C-alpha cells in the first residue's frame, strides 16, 4: 500500500526566524502568567501569615510553588510560617530547600538556625549563625541568637551534638540551582523528612535579604 504522507516544504530563513520568534514570545507570555499567579498566591500567604493563620499561609506558598517552582523567597516565607507554628523540622526543611537554590540567602540560613535551635540541635544552629554573621556581622537578630547559643553551649550540662557535613551544607560558594517549575524539581516530590541531603538535587523590598522576620 502506497504511503499517503507528504513532506512539508522547507522553511525559508525568514519563515524560520518568524516561527522561532513566535515560540519565544509564547514562552515568555506563559512564564509571565505563571509568575503573576504565583505572586498572587504568595501575597495571599503573606496576608494569612499576618492574620496568624500559619497553616493557611503554608498552603498558599505551596500553591505558589506548584505554579512557578520552589523560589527562594517563597520557601523562606514558608520556613518562617512553620517557625511561628513551632513546626521546627518542617521549618528546617523549607529553609534547606531555599538554601539549595541560593546558598547565599542570609534570611533562609538564619531561619534554618532558628529551626535547628527549636529542635535542640544547638551546634547545627551555631554553624548557621556563624555563617550568617560572616555574611553580615552587624545583623542584630543574629548576634542575639549567637549569644543565646553560646550561653547554652557553655552550660555545664551541655552535651556536644554530633555534627556532620550535612549540618554545614550548602557552603556559601556552592552554585545556585535554578528551577523553572515545580515539575522540574526532583526535590518537590521527594519523600522523607523534608530536608534534602547533601547530594540530593545538587546541581519588592530593598532590604529583602536582610529582613529576617517578615515575608516578601
Does residue 192 form part of some domain? no
Q: Which three cell numbers stand for residue 29?
A: 507570555
Q: Give the structural domain span for 99.
A: 28-184
Residue 180 lies in a domain: yes
Q: Is residue 36 part of a domain?
A: yes
Residue 124 lies in a domain: yes
**Is 108 a member of any domain?**
yes
Mean pLDDT, 10 residues at a time, over the chain (216 residues)? 68 84 86 90 98 98 95 97 98 97 97 97 96 97 97 87 70 79 44 40 41 51
Q: Is residue 12 part of a domain?
A: no
Where residue 75 sits, what CATH number does that domain have?
A: 1.25.40.10
**Alpha carbon distance 69, 140 (integer Å):** 32
Q: For residue 206, is it within any domain?
A: no
Provide the domain count of the chain. 1
Output the pLDDT for position 4: 60
Kindly state whether residue 167 falls inside one of the protein's structural domains: yes
How far is CA 88 from its chain centroid? 16
- For residue 50, the model assigns a pLDDT of 98
Long-range contact pairs involving 156-160 (C-beta distance under 8 Å, separation at least 24): 158/122, 160/123
Amino acid at each position: 500500500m502506497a504511503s499517503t504522507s507528504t513532506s512539508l516544504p522547507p522553511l525559508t530563513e525568514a519563515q524560520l526566524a518568524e516561527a522561532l520568534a513566535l515560540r519565544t514570545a509564547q514562552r515568555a507570555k506563559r512564564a509571565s502568567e505563571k509568575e503573576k499567579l504565583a505572586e498572587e498566591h504568595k501575597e495571599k500567604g503573606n496576608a494569612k501569615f499576618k492574620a496568624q493563620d500559619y497553616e493557611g499561609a503554608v498552603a498558599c506558598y505551596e500553591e505558589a510553588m506548584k505554579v512557578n517552582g520552589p523560589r527562594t523567597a517563597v520557601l523562606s516565607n514558608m520556613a518562617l510560617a512553620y517557625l511561628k507554628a513551632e513546626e521546627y523540622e518542617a521549618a528546617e526543611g523549607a529553609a534547606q530547600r531555599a538554601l539549595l537554590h541560593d546558598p547565599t540567602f542570609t534570611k533562609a540560613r538564619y531561619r534554618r538556625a532558628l529551626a535547628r535551635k527549636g529542635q535542640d540541635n544547638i551546634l547545627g544552629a551555631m554553624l548557621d549563625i556563624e555563617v550568617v554573621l560572616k555574611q553580615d556581622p552587624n545583623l542584630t537578630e543574629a548576634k542575639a541568637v549567637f549569644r543565646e547559643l553560646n550561653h547554652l553551649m557553655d552550660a555545664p550540662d551541655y552535651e556536644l551534638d554530633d555534627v556532620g557535613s550535612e549540618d554545614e551544607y550548602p557552603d556559601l560558594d556552592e552554585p545556585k540551582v535554578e528551577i523553572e517549575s515545580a515539575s522540574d524539581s526532583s526535590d518537590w516530590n521527594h519523600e522523607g523528612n523534608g530536608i534534602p541531603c547533601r547530594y540530593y538535587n545538587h546541581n519588592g523590598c530593598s532590604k529583602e535579604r536582610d529582613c529576617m522576620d517578615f515575608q516578601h
